[in-house]
Structure formats: structure tokens, C-alpha cells
């Protein structure tokens, strides 16, 4: 049977033979749980008893839950502050690091180090930095100068930026490396031509560097957007006693899902939240991929 | 059919083995609990003693992290795997019964009337009609830990009532030049055990009743409740605060570090405080009101026989349950884990009740109440937010407690309507 196939057909058979493993893997590990989660979102289930049909009840509850809207807002705050901030910071660092020769490798290593550190360990260290006197580093410094203490984490306004800061810092190293690779990939001939024409650095930056970095920028935006939309470990570890607090000021959607599922054992409601998160991630990614395609 | 053949073969094998060895292990039962060092050690001792007394039964203990516990139990038992005897938190009983995971204890071995009279009254929450679903080995209650050195330094005695308590806290509070607190008189934080102290302690002491209708109706939104909340928030919000929320990150961390004069916690904290080098501490009952009213909170973990246990495994499980709820087991649990015996006959012995560490907890059991939680972490969160609204948003205690009560009622209604 196999013998009678044309070479083209044989190639297809072999391609599928090799593809079978990842396809199987994705079906079992990704698609089946995803489908199951969507199914559970229409049911009530406390992990122990039987699943019962709930119809759209979980989604209705979500729509009317003030905590969900607060959490929704937080999630987008993480995205809208985190992504542009880390993009600008990492570009500025990469741009200048690229021009620097002195201790270049060492500095690059320093920027990359936080990315390699465990998020949990990092979150706990920052959590202690943020404490009040007598143990908090920042507040000890402030009080050393006679400046009143700042409530970093125990504040409804300061907590979210305080939690976001180490998350941005942690992701910076990776983005700097990607930007530097992007910068190196720009052919030097453009810069030489610009030099001959005698244009200023601003024009070089806006007319040559940034346009040619576009694929890199799109990649970083997509990548870090997904990261900030799914932020969990920094928030959870910096606020473990009062996850997402105070008063839900730092709670992202993933933490709400975790809490509903594994503290409240309300799997149906948690699944409904997951479906919403999935939809948001899908839409954001599609929009960003669209931007990439218009290239 | 195959299992029957397997059983026959197994029986044949074991009876042959019995000819050669006197301690043949005919029945093997499985016991599950979550991982907590001292509890595992204590259970190992109990199993050893039990096996020595019952050479024909082997007990295998499995334990895993608390976070996975419920999921694994829920997945294993319906599949016919997992434990024959299982440990669960008292608050989970309804869920376990509803999911058909556990079976009632046999009335002939565990007659309800006997248990009613022998165990501390709060255990009756495990009773349904004439049968008990589950029984604890140990119970926990709250007490006031104090730092002996700081107390001496401030020249005060361990407080017995609220007035002395506030005075002692004030005497032990220290501030730096800028007025920042560097040592608290008493730790505070609803995230720790304070929410229990508030519910079952302060509210009742102020003359209130935190819940009504068998914990199905929230009842702390009352004058007593507001008074209790004001007493609590005054600790860290008055003009001369004696505490600070989030001081040194966690209440017990501040106490362990010797930066807190007093700390309210459960008996399960004893073990870790004993391991803290350089900390000299003592413990006393929770402060009473001026007219001597005391109230405490107690909770417990119970053991139950699962629906998986049948036939000889069931008989072996009953025997095992009998042993781990015996006086001897309770004393071992107290000595190893520091959790209190569930029977007054063991707990209130002269020696235990006068023990300077366990004594205050055991005395506390006499006037303790057990909150029936629907979702403990969510209900605690509401207490946390109740305080945050007052502290961070300047809301009045009366308004904040009303919001908390309404939210908690909604949560309870949802839970009990299922």
C-alpha cells in the first residue's frame, strides 16, 4: 500500500507521522482542557459532587459582580501601564547599551539577571523592601531623612504600581536582549548613508531605527501584553496574606480565578472567568497580529 | 469476579503465610492527611502503636501539601482509590457528605449518646441524627501569647482583662523620633487569627451573638458588633495606637522577632515558637471583659471513614478510628503536635489544665464556640476588607460592618441554597 504512493504522498505521510506527536500532545494537554473549561463554565461544580447544569448563571453572576469589574480594570491597568513602560525603558536601555563598548557584556548580564531569577523569590524580597519601619528598606531610608513613611502595599492607590514595578523590572532583561538583537540586525549601510547626508540623530532614530525595528517592537508588545494580562506570581506573593488586596486594589483576573477555584471551590464560576480571560487574550493577540501582518 | 478470585488467592496466600508468621498482615488500610510536620510525626507514632496492638492490620499513611489535598481526595475516592480513613477540616463536612465521600460511623462502636457526653460539646457539629459522621483527635483554641522580656521591661503583668490588656499593650509600644512604631504592644491583622477573635471573642464579649440560626444568618451587624469593631480598630487607629496593621509584614513574624509584646494565636503556634531561638514567651487566656465575660474560638480537624472502605477494610478502619479517638491517642497528639485533646476527660486532667503552656488553651475550650464556615477564606477576606474600608477609606465602623454583614449573608445564602 505504502509502496504505491507517489513521493509527494509519501512525504505527506511522513510529515503527519512526525506531526502526530505534537498534535496528540496539543489535543490532550491543550485543546481537551480548554474545551472542558468552556463546558464547566456552564455548570456548577465544587470539585467533590456531581456537575450540574447552570446555563448562563455563572456569566450572569460575573456580569453583576463588582469585584469582577474591579479586577477587570486592574488587569488592564497592569497591561496599559506595564507594556508601554517596559517597552520604552527597554528600548532606551538597549539603544544606549548598544552604543556602549566599556563593560558592555557585564552591564548586559546585570540587566538580564532579574529575568533569570525566580519570580517568587524576587516578589518576596520586594515585599520586604516595601514594608514599614523597622524592616522596610525604602521606608527606613525615608525616615532616615525625616520624610514621613509611604504605605506602599497597604494602600489602595500605591499598591498596584508597587506590585507592577518588580514585574516590569523582571521582564526588562529579556526585552533589552531582543531589542539589541533587533538593533544589530539593521544594516549599517542605512546609517552610513544617513551620515553622508548629514542628518541629525533624531531623524536617524525616527526614520531609520524605529521603522526597521517594527517587527521587534510588535513581538515585544505581543509578548509582554500577554505577560501582563496573565500577571499572577508577583501579585500573589507580594500580597499572600490578603491576596490581591487591599480591597482588591491589586487583584488581577488570574488571581481571582485561582481564588474562586481553589479557595472557594466554585469551579463553574472560575471556569467562566477563565473563558473571559481567554477571550480577552485572544482578542488582544489577534489585534496585535493584525498590526504585524499589515507590514 | 476477578476481584473475588484475587481475594481468594490473597486469602489463601495470607493464611499460608499465617502458618509461618504470627504477625501476618491480612488487612491493609490507607490513611490520608495533609502535610504538617508535627501531625505526620504524631500520626506515625499512633500507627505504630495501633499496629502493635493489631498485628493483622497495616495502616499506610499518605500525605501531601495542603493546597492539593481536597482535589486529590475528591478525585481518588469516587475512583475507588485513595484513603479508607481520611482527615478533613470540620468546615468541609457538609461537602464531603453531599459528595458521598464519607460514611457515618457505626452507632454500636460510636454511640452518639456516649460521644455527646465524652467529647467537648462543639464536636456535636459532626452529628447527624443518631450517628456521628466524623470525630476529632484534637481541637484548637486561641490564647494570648506574650513576650516575657518585653513584659518585664515594661513592668507589667500578663493581662487578665481588657483594661489591663490595653494598658500592657500601651506600655510595650515603642516609637522612633518621627513617631513611627518600632515595637507594637499587640499584633493586629484580620489575615491571621484575629478574625476568629473578633467573631467568637469580641462580639460575644460585648454582648452580641455573631451568627444566628445555626450559623446560617449573620448577626454581628449590631450595637455589640460595632462596639467590638471599634475596640479592635482603636488598637491601631486611635490617637495613641498600640499596634499597626501589617507591622513587620505578618503578626506572628513580629512576635517571633521580639518586636511585639502580645499576639493572639492558636495552640498550633506553640511548636514553631518553641523553635524560635532567643524568644522567651508565655501564654495566658484571652482577656475577659470588665465584668468577667470570656469567649473563645475553637476549630478542629476530624477523621472519617470513606465510602471506599468495605468489608474487612471497613472493620479495620473502625478499629483504627476507635484508636485515634482514644484517650491515649489524644495525649500523644497533645505532646507531639501541641493540639488539645477533644475530650474533657483527657484535656482537663489536673496536669494538662495546669500546664503553663497548654493550660490557657484548654481553659479556653470551656467557653469556646466553633464558627460553621461556608468558605473560611472568603469569610475571612470580608473581615479583612471590613477593616481596610475603615483604615484606608475612612469609612465609619458602623457602615463598614453593615457592608461586611450583607456580603457574608449573601455568601452563606448561596452556600446553603445549593
Whether residue B93 has pLDDT greater than 90: no
Range with the poorest average pLDDT among B198-212, B266-280, B316-330: B266-280
pLDDT at residue number B91: 82
Chain B residue numbers touching A259 (CB-CB < 8 A): 377
Contact B95 A265 (CB under 8 A): yes
Contact A241 B388 (CB under 8 A): no
Q: φ and ψ at B354, to 5 degrees? A: -95, 0
Task: Strands of B37-134 (E only): list them.
Answer: 57-64, 85-89, 102-103, 127-128, 131-132
Query: pLDDT tens for residues B11-27?
Result: 554 444 444 444 445 79
The answer, for A144 touching chain B at a CB cutoff of 8 Å, is no
B306-318 burial: b if 16+ Cβ within 10 Å, else e:
bbbbeeebbbbbb
Percent pLDDT > 70 in chain B is: 94
Residue A143: band (very low, low, confident or very high) from pLDDT cuts 50, 70, 90: confident
Strand partners, B284: B144
Contact A134 B248 (CB under 8 A): yes
Confirm whether A109 is domain-assigned.
yes
Report the domain count for chain A: 2
Query: Per the structure block, which three cell numbers stand in for A125?
Result: 524580597
Residue A294: band (very low, low, confident or very high) from pLDDT cuts 50, 70, 90: low
Confirm whether A190 is domain-assigned.
yes
The answer, for A210 touching chain B at a CB cutoff of 8 Å, is no
What does CATH list as the number for B27-140+299-359?
3.40.190.10
pLDDT at residue number B4: 54
Kindly list the domain boundaries of chain B, sorted by start residue: 27-140+299-359, 141-298+367-416
Query: Do A16 and A78 belong together in one domain?
Result: no
Nearest CA in chain A to B78: A48
Query: Do A67 and A28 belong together in one domain?
Result: no
User: Between B95, B249, B384, which is nearest A128 by CB?
Assistant: B249
Query: Do A64 and A188 belong together in one domain?
Result: yes
What is the bridge-based pairing of β-strands B181-186 and B260-266? parallel
Query: pLDDT tens for residues A16-61?
Result: 999 999 999 999 999 999 999 999 999 998 887 788 999 999 999 9
Mean pLDDT for chain B overall: 89
Query: Do A154 and A289 belong together in one domain?
Result: yes
B232 with B387: CB under 8 angstroms? yes
Structural domain of A23: 1-38
Confirm whether A204 is domain-assigned.
yes
Cβ neighbours of residue A177 closer than 8 Å, sequence gap 6 or more: A94, A108, A112
pLDDT at residue number A295: 52
B294 CB-side CA count, 13 A: 21
Nearest to B360 by CA among B188, B160, B170: B160
With H, G, I as helix, E, B as strand and everything else as coil, classify residue A40. Answer: helix
Conformation bin of residue B164: beta by default, left when phi > 0, alpha when psi is -120 to 50: alpha
Whether residue A240 has pLDDT greater than 50: yes
Mean pLDDT of B201-217: 94
Confirm whether A52 is domain-assigned.
no
pLDDT at residue number B125: 85
Nearest to A111 by CA among A124, A128, A84, A92: A92
Contact B246 A48 (CB under 8 A): no
Comparing A162 with A218, the larger pLDDT belongs to A162
Contact A242 B381 (CB under 8 A): yes
Query: Do A85 and A209 belong together in one domain?
Result: yes
Terminal alpha carbon distance of chain A: 46
Query: Per the structure block, which three cell numbers stand in for A57?
Result: 448563571
pLDDT at residue number B400: 97
Query: Per the structure block, which three cell numbers stand in for B17?
Result: 503465610
Nearest to B178 by CA among A133, A158, A136: A133
> Using CB atoms and an 8 Å cut-off, which of residues 226-265 of chain A contact chain B?
241-242, 245-247, 259, 262-265
B237 with B257: CB under 8 angstroms? no
Q: Which residue has the cell 462580639?
A: B203
pLDDT at residue number B7: 52
Comparing B71 with A89, the larger pLDDT belongs to A89
Nearest to B185 by CA among B155, B152, B146, B230: B146
Confirm whether A47 is domain-assigned.
no
pLDDT at residue number B6: 54
Query: Do A92 and A18 belong together in one domain?
Result: no
The answer, for A133 touching chain B at a CB cutoff of 8 Å, is yes
| CA–CA gap between residue A105 and residue A90 (Å, rounded) | 16
Query: Per the structure block, which three cell numbers stand in for A85?
Result: 513602560
* CATH for B141-298+367-416 (3.40.50.300, 3.40.50.2000, 3.40.190.10, 3.30.70.1140): 3.40.190.10
Contact A154 B392 (CB under 8 A): yes
Whether residue A147 has pLDDT greater than 80: yes
Confirm whether A189 is domain-assigned.
yes
Confirm whether A49 is domain-assigned.
no
What is the bridge-based pairing of β-strands B181-186 and A43-44? unpaired
Chain B residue numbers touching A262 (CB-CB < 8 A): 67, 71
Range with the poorest average pLDDT among A235-244, A260-269, B5-14: B5-14
Query: pLDDT tens for residues A63-116?
Result: 999 999 999 999 999 999 999 999 999 999 999 999 888 888 899 899 999 888
Q: How many CB pairs below 8 A link A and B?
A: 83
Query: Do A86 and A182 belong together in one domain?
Result: yes
- The answer, yes or no, to whether the previous bond of B127 is cis (omega within 30 of 0) is no
Mean pLDDT of A174-192: 93
Query: Do A16 and A133 belong together in one domain?
Result: no
Query: Do A223 and A161 belong together in one domain?
Result: yes
With H, G, I as helix, E, B as strand and everything else as coil, classify residue A61. Answer: helix
Chain B residue numbers touching A134 (CB-CB < 8 A): 176, 180, 182, 248, 259
Angstrom CA distances, B327 to A125, A129, A196, B134, B332, stand at: 46, 49, 95, 16, 9
The answer, for A127 touching chain B at a CB cutoff of 8 Å, is yes
Domains B27-140+299-359 and B141-298+367-416 are alike in CATH topology: yes
User: Between A49, A133, A247, which is nearest B180 by CB?
Assistant: A133
User: Between B99, B378, B393, which is nearest A48 by CB?
Assistant: B99
| CA–CA gap between residue B17 and residue B26 (Å, rounded) | 10
- The answer, yes or no, to whether the previous bond of A155 is cis (omega within 30 of 0) is no
Percent pLDDT > 70 in chain A is: 99
Confirm whether A268 is domain-assigned.
yes
Terminal alpha carbon distance of chain B: 39
Contact B385 A128 (CB under 8 A): no
Angstrom CA distances, A50 to A37, A47, A58, B78, B178, stand at: 16, 8, 17, 11, 59
**How distant is the alpha carbon of residue A166 from its chain centre?**
13
Nearest to A225 by CA among A277, A284, A160: A284
Query: Do A136 and A183 belong together in one domain?
Result: yes
Query: Per the structure block, which three cell numbers stand in for B305?
Result: 471513614
The answer, for A137 touching chain B at a CB cutoff of 8 Å, is no
Amino acid at each position: 500500500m505504502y509502496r504505491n504512493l507517489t513521493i509527494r504522498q509519501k512525504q505527506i505521510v511522513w510529515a503527519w507521522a512526525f506531526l502526530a506527536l505534537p498534535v496528540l500532545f496539543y489535543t490532550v494537554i491543550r485543546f481537551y482542557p480548554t474545551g472542558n473549561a468552556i463546558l464547566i463554565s456552564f455548570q456548577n461544580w465544587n470539585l467533590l459532587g456531581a456537575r450540574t447544569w447552570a446555563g448562563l448563571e455563572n456569566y450572569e453572576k460575573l456580569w453583576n459582580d463588582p469585584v469582577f469589574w474591579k479586577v477587570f480594570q486592574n488587569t488592564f491597568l497592569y497591561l496599559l501601564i506595564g507594556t508601554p513602560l517596559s517597552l520604552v525603558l527597554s528600548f532606551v536601555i538597549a539603544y544606549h547599551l548598544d552604543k556602549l563598548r566599556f563593560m558592555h557584556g557585564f552591564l548586559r548580564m546585570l540587566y538580564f539577571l532579574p529575568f533569570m531569577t525566580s519570580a517568587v523569590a524576587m516578589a518576596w524580597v520586594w515585599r520586604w523592601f516595601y514594608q514599614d519601619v523597622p524592616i522596610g528598606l525604602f521606608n527606613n531610608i525615608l525616615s532616615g531623612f525625616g520624610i514621613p513613611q509611604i504605605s506602599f502595599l497597604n494602600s489602595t492607590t500605591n499598591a498596584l504600581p508597587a506590585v507592577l514595578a518588580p514585574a516590569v523590572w523582571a521582564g526588562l532583561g529579556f526585552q533589552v536582549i531582543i531589542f539589541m538583537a533587533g538593533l544589530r540586525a539593521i544594516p549599517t549601510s542605512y546609517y552610513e548613508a544617513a551620515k553622508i547626508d548629514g542628518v541629525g540623530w533624531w531623524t536617524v532614530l525616527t526614520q531609520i531605527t524605529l521603522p526597521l525595528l517594527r517587527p521587534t517592537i510588535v513581538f515585544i508588545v505581543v509578548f509582554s501584553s500577554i505577560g501582563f494580562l496573565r500577571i499572577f506570581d508577583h501579585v500573589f506573593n507580594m500580597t499572600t496574606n490578603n491576596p490581591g488586596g487591599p480591597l482588591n486594589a491589586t487583584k488581577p483576573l488570574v488571581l481571582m480565578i485561582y481564588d474562586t477555584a481553589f479557595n472557594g471551590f466554585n469551579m463553574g464560576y472560575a471556569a467562566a472567568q477563565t473563558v473571559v480571560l481567554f477571550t480577552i487574550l485572544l482578542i488582544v493577540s489577534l489585534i496585535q497580529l493584525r498590526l504585524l501582518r499589515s507590514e | 469476579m476477578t476481584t473475588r478470585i484475587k481475594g481468594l488467592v490473597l486469602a489463601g496466600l495470607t493464611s499460608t503465610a499465617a502458618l509461618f508468621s504470627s504477625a501476618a498482615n491480612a488487612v491493609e488500610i490507607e490513611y490520608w492527611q495533609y502535610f504538617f510536620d508535627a501531625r505526620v510525626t504524631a500520626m506515625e507514632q499512633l500507627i505504630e502503636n495501633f499496629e502493635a496492638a493489631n498485628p493483622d492490620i497495616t495502616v499506610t499513611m499518605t500525605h501531601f501539601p495542603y493546597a492539593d489535598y481536597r482535589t486529590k481526595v475528591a478525585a481518588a475516592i469516587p475512583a475507588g482509590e485513595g484513603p479508607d480513613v481520611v482527615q478533613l477540616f470540620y468546615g468541609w463536612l457538609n461537602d464531603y457528605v453531599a459528595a458521598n465521600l464519607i460514611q457515618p460511623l457505626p452507632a454500636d462502636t460510636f454511640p452518639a449518646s456516649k460521644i455527646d457526653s465524652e467529647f467537648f460539646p462543639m464536636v456535636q457539629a459532626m452529628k447527624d441524627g443518631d450517628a456521628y459522621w466524623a470525630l476529632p483527635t484534637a481541637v484548637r483554641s486561641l490564647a494570648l501569647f506574650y513576650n516575657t522580656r518585653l513584659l518585664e521591661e515594661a513592668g507589667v503583668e500578663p493581662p487578665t482583662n481588657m483594661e489591663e490588656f490595653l494598658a500592657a499593650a500601651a506600655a510595650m509600644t515603642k516609637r522612633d523620633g518621627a513617631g513611627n512604631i518600632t515595637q507594637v504592644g499587640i499584633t493586629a491583622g484580620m489575615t491571621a487569627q484575629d478574625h476568629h477573635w473578633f467573631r467568637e471573642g469580641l462580639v460575644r464579649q460585648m454582648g452580641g451573638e455573631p451568627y444566628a440560626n445555626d450559623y446560617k444568618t449573620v448577626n454581628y451587624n449590631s450595637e455589640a458588633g460595632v462596639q467590638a469593631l471599634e475596640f479592635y480598630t482603636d488598637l491601631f487607629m486611635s490617637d495613641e495606637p498600640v499596634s499597626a496593621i501589617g507591622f513587620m509584614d505578618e503578626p506572628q513574624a513580629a512576635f517571633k522577632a521580639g518586636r511585639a509584646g502580645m499576639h493572639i494565636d492558636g495552640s498550633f503556634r506553640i511548636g514553631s515558637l518553641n523553635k524560635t531561638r532567643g524568644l522567651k514567651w508565655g501564654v495566658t487566656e484571652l482577656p475577659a471583659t470588665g465584668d468577667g465575660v470570656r469567649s473563645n474560638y475553637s476549630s478542629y480537624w476530624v477523621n472519617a471513614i470513606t465510602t471506599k472502605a468495605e468489608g474487612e477494610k471497613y472493620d479495620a478502619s473502625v478499629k483504627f478510628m476507635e484508636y485515634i479517638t482514644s484517650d491515649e491517642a489524644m495525649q500523644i497528639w497533645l505532646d507531639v503536635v501541641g493540639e488539645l485533646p477533644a475530650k474533657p476527660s483527657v484535656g482537663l486532667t489536673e496536669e494538662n489544665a495546669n500546664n503553663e503552656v497548654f493550660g490557657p488553651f484548654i481553659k479556653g475550650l470551656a467557653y469556646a464556640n466553633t464558627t460553621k464556615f461556608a468558605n473560611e477564606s472568603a469569610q475571612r477576606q470580608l473581615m479583612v476588607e471590613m477593616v481596610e474600608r475603615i483604615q484606608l477609606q475612612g469609612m465609619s465602623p458602623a457602615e463598614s460592618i453593615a457592608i461586611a454583614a450583607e456580603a457574608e449573608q449573601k455568601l452563606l445564602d448561596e452556600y446553603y441554597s445549593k
